[in-house]
Structure 1
Amino acid sequence: MKKNYYYIAILAFVFVFSSCKKMLEEEAENFVSPSQFYKNEAQCVAALNGCHNPLTSIFNQGLILANEGVTDLAFLNNQNNETRFELSPANPGMGKGLWTSAYQGIMYCNAAIQGIKGAPIAENRKPALIAEAVVLRALYYYVLTSTFGDVPFYTDDVANLATLEKVNALGRMSASDTRKFLIAELKAYVDALPKLRTSEVPNNRISSSMANVLIAKLAMWEKDYGTALAALNEVKTIYGALAQYPLEDTYFRNKNKPESIFEVQYTWSVSGLKKTTQVACYFTPPRTANTSTYNGINIPELGDKANPFTSVSPSAYFMSLYHVWDPRRNIILAYTYNGQNFTRPQSGNGTGKPWMGAKFWCPGMDNLADGNNQKVFRYADVLLLMAECANELDDVALAMSSINEVKRRASQASSASINLELTSYPGKVEFFREVREERARELMGEYGRKWDLVRWGIWYESIMNTVANEFVDIKQNVRPYHEYYPIPDNEILRSDGKLHNNAYK
């Protein structure tokens, strides 16, 4: 059985690299087996392109519902088992596909690193190429540890049966140990990457800023705020003042803008390449059949072919966080559009729920096909992480300047004369609360809210104090162990019981 699995793994490896068309504007070349590949730099780049492919099976509607659609900020009032926390190893929801895709990505990265090291290309070109695979591998492990906690960890190229058997024998490695390894490895390779904004790197490939953001994210799970802050300062040196980046660039439809640090690339066209998500389906108001009218407003740019699902609803808590003139309020929450009122928010004498905002909508969506990019890391996130680190390290001046830079951009973009900035330091605990709230106002929908709540150790209480009071199925079903997803039972069986879900027993 294991021998058959080995051949399946190798065939999958070959297939991904040979079918990787137009990924990051490059074409992968066909080849028979990995041993016959990596003969020149073009083939090494094609292999790296393949390392990106599993990302579109991870950063999509499944993960955004888990991380953003069912948190303290929002809920999905439908019969979806996952969004009602009816999860188990036998019914792991999006976790099953995420586990498979992330380890597929790790396998490709491991093979690419090994192949590039042995490639007959200029030695001075290898560090930059290897660094891209190292960063992508770290991203896959970041997703896995944030979603499941302790997971199997390996960096071996699965090129023979003995290595495969070694990998199959792995149990759950400490997430802390995994993160510490990744931080050290990223530090070793970060200087080989372009010290540019990602939008300035040809084809939006991996930049040093992406590597530094990952160092910071991993370090903050470990409460190593000094390491995180050093990495974030490197990003700030490159990206400069936040005021130069328009708030409108945060819309998912606006791809690869200068503020962006990492986006997962999607494409949709009527006759061309189709690589789509269904994210917008869960974040768009309902459409009247055969029209471009969405909950009472004609929105021609959205077209008359979109087929939205039941929409994610913002929590009362999230709605309460915004100043009425904060411009992000009607970007992320849609009370109106182009000066017109949606029907639902006006119900109940103006107390109805808003829809999720235009940040998430996809112009010209065809049925379920959403071709927006998915935003994962951008510069405002960096500044808010800096504020959090500085607060923990008692650097009040840096904490205040970092959070106020984000607040200042929102103030200046408002149609009213407002000042959202903090005028004085409120104290360490109160400032941390303000960071949590500002991350909600700025970053909702960018795949990090649940992971933040778990990292802060407040996920369960946050759910119970917010959305559980609005959606009874959550109150009845949610348990503290739901902070992490269960490892799918088929993976436990495949490991001969070395993997486990003790928290779910």
Structure 2
Amino acid sequence: MTLRKHIFPAILIAATLAAGGCQKMLEEKPNSFVGPDGFYKSVSQCVSALNGCYIPLNSIYAGDFMISLEATTDLAFLNSSQLDAKFEISPANPGIGDNIWSLCYQGVMYCNAAAYNIRNATIPDEQKPALEGEAVALRALYYYILTSNFQDVPFYTEPVSNLSALDKIMKIPRMDAGDTRDSLIRELQRFAPSLPQARTSDVPQNRISAPMAYMLIGKLALWNKDYATCAAAMEEIRKIYGQLAQYPLSDTWFRNKNKPESIFEVQFTWSATGLKKTSTVAAFFTPPKTSGTSTYDGVNVPELGTLANPFNSITPSEYMMSLYDIIDPRREMILAYSYNGTWFKRPMGSNGTGKPWMGPKFWCPGMDNIADGNNQKVFRYADAILMLAEAANELGNTDLAMQCLNEVKGRADESLRLDTYPGKNEFLEEVKAERARELMGEYGRKWDLVRWGTFFQRVSETTALEYQTIKDNIRPYHEFYPIPDKEVVRSGGILTNPAYK
């Protein structure tokens, strides 16, 4: 794993709290490293250390990661030379796997140091659990990404404080992903009660609260097919968030930041004169533009402005297009056939049977060249309700399963609700389809397909039939990424990639 020698003495520390508050700190790059002996002497210093734990997320939740999780699935593809989009990844050329491995272990290292030093900080003991719990939840997020992307990975929670510890950690073998998840679940269950029992939007600076810990418990438990643990965690979220109907669908658009339905978002910002922390995600979801104008595929879209320079856009699959009833309002959010009543050129092609563009849920008003300041949505309440529907169905609680699935369907349109329980397998298939309708673009579709054990089959039956490159290249082992060769060498051969041989 990538561990820089100037970091191991202690955690990366952000600048002290200023007028902009914690959110500004999360947007700024820290410029110093402080050892634990000179730090962790006040709550504000502990918070500053925690802010450093968030920083790798801005580099993880970016355009390439979106492609790997949403545009290599049954829902969409990207006609691009990008390795991940073409399934041309290997241990020698791991595509985004290289950055994900390094950045996640960087985040793990920051969280390990923060958790350890907060436990030993010279602050009142009653203030420590919530602070340590924030580091624990962030560490679980990094391991959730790692195990979902690579399956079995090295697992450690000790701070790297000296060369001896560094040498030991670099030689840790891959740990069974199920065991890693079980360990994380136990730790999250321990700290979740100490975190704020509130919606993220009600927590200052949208910091991690208990629902984020419960969401991670549920995600990890679903991977392990521990449906009772998932259901219990989702019920805790329901106590805090209430009825889904109170949260408008428009709040799910990426431009609408930190709305009450949100459980966790990666914070981005852009302004003409101020601080810039941007992604390129919107550039992969925006229709092509006529240079120097606000005309996108023949339609004037003033809100997008004249400065955007979109990439070749992610293309929805025929399967994705087939999922939406014509009355489903999410159809026009996810799939852009028109704008303000005017049809784009591409959907009108081929005698009106052309493909739509990806919709306004992902667009960024005022995008500057390829940079957008939208937040990236990672977890929100509708996801939790659909997870509970899936878990309840597996546990035989059909009434709860139907209630949850219809809560999501009903928010879109009451006429979309299921009248009767269709059977266990049929219900699961409907949950899979509903997760696609509701959550497309929220960094989870590939992982859903993999945990259901259907990734290779579903992609082969959908996008591979539309995009020859996928048909030619996809293999069953592509459900997980290979550990980069350089990490295998650094471990002295302890890390291996047997599936990629």
TM-score bin, normalised by smaller chain: over 0.9
> Which amino acid counterpart does residue 186 of structure 2 have in structure 1?
A
- Following superposition, the deviation at residue 9 of structure 1 comes to 3.3
1:416 match: none
For the structure 1 residues 247 and 6, does the alpha-carbon distance in structure 2 shift closer, same or farther, using more than 3 Å as the test? closer
What secondary structure sits across from 1:451 in the alignment? Answer: helix
Identity %: 59
2:8 match: 10
> Which amino acid counterpart does residue 44 of structure 1 have in structure 2?
C
Deviations 1:354-405 (A, max 9, x none): 0000000000000011100000100100111111011101111001110000
Once residues 15 and 450 of structure 1 are traced to their aligned partners in structure 2, the CA distance between those partners, rounded to angstroms, is 32
For the structure 1 residues 128 and 32, does the alpha-carbon distance in structure 2 shift closer, same or farther, using more than 3 Å as the test? closer
Cα pair 2:13 2:33 within 8 Å, conserved: no
Deviations 1:218-267 (A, max 9, x none): 00111000010000000011111111000000000000000000000001
Once residues 241 and 165 of structure 1 are traced to their aligned partners in structure 2, the CA distance between those partners, rounded to angstroms, is 50
User: Which aligned pairs between 1:59-458 and structure 2 lie closer than 5 A?
Assistant: 59-411=61-413, 419-458=415-454
Once residues 57 and 420 of structure 1 are traced to their aligned partners in structure 2, the CA distance between those partners, rounded to angstroms, is 38
What secondary structure sits across from 1:445 in the alignment? Answer: coil
Once residues 179 and 217 of structure 1 are traced to their aligned partners in structure 2, the CA distance between those partners, rounded to angstroms, is 9
Cα pair 1:67 1:449 within 8 Å, conserved: yes
Deviations 1:197-217 (A, max 9, x none): 110011101110010010000
What secondary structure sits across from 2:428 in the alignment? Answer: helix
Once residues 16 and 226 of structure 2 are traced to their aligned partners in structure 1, the CA distance between those partners, rounded to angstroms, is 41
Cα pair 1:6 1:164 within 8 Å, conserved: no
- Following superposition, the deviation at residue 340 of structure 1 comes to 1.2
For the structure 1 residues 391 and 5, does the alpha-carbon distance in structure 2 shift closer, same or farther, using more than 3 Å as the test? closer
Cα pair 1:307 1:367 within 8 Å, conserved: yes
> Which amino acid counterpart does residue 23 of structure 2 have in structure 1?
L
What secondary structure sits across from 1:263 in the alignment? Answer: strand
Q: What TM-score do you get using the length of structure 1 for normalisation?
A: 0.96
2:23 match: 24
What secondary structure sits across from 1:486 in the alignment? Answer: coil
2:480 match: 484
What secondary structure sits across from 1:236 in the alignment? Answer: helix
What secondary structure sits across from 1:376 in the alignment? Answer: strand
Once residues 125 and 31 of structure 2 are traced to their aligned partners in structure 1, the CA distance between those partners, rounded to angstroms, is 22
Unaligned runs of 5+ in 2: none
Once residues 173 and 7 of structure 2 are traced to their aligned partners in structure 1, the CA distance between those partners, rounded to angstroms, is 19
- Following superposition, the deviation at residue 10 of structure 1 comes to 2.9
Cα pair 2:364 2:374 within 8 Å, conserved: yes
Once residues 18 and 103 of structure 1 are traced to their aligned partners in structure 2, the CA distance between those partners, rounded to angstroms, is 22
> Which amino acid counterpart does residue 443 of structure 2 have in structure 1?
Y
Once residues 309 and 5 of structure 2 are traced to their aligned partners in structure 1, the CA distance between those partners, rounded to angstroms, is 41
For the structure 1 residues 217 and 78, does the alpha-carbon distance in structure 2 shift closer, same or farther, using more than 3 Å as the test? same
Aligned CA RMSD, in angstroms, stands at 1.7
Cα pair 1:20 1:49 within 8 Å, conserved: no
- Following superposition, the deviation at residue 78 of structure 1 comes to 2.2
Cα pair 1:6 1:161 within 8 Å, conserved: no
Cα pair 1:134 1:185 within 8 Å, conserved: yes
Once residues 30 and 278 of structure 1 are traced to their aligned partners in structure 2, the CA distance between those partners, rounded to angstroms, is 28
- Following superposition, the deviation at residue 31 of structure 1 comes to 5.8
1:496 match: 492
- Following superposition, the deviation at residue 37 of structure 1 comes to 1.3
Once residues 131 and 149 of structure 2 are traced to their aligned partners in structure 1, the CA distance between those partners, rounded to angstroms, is 28
Q: What TM-score do you get using the length of structure 2 for normalisation?
A: 0.96
For the structure 1 residues 401 and 92, does the alpha-carbon distance in structure 2 shift closer, same or farther, using more than 3 Å as the test? same
For the structure 1 residues 65 and 134, does the alpha-carbon distance in structure 2 shift closer, same or farther, using more than 3 Å as the test? same
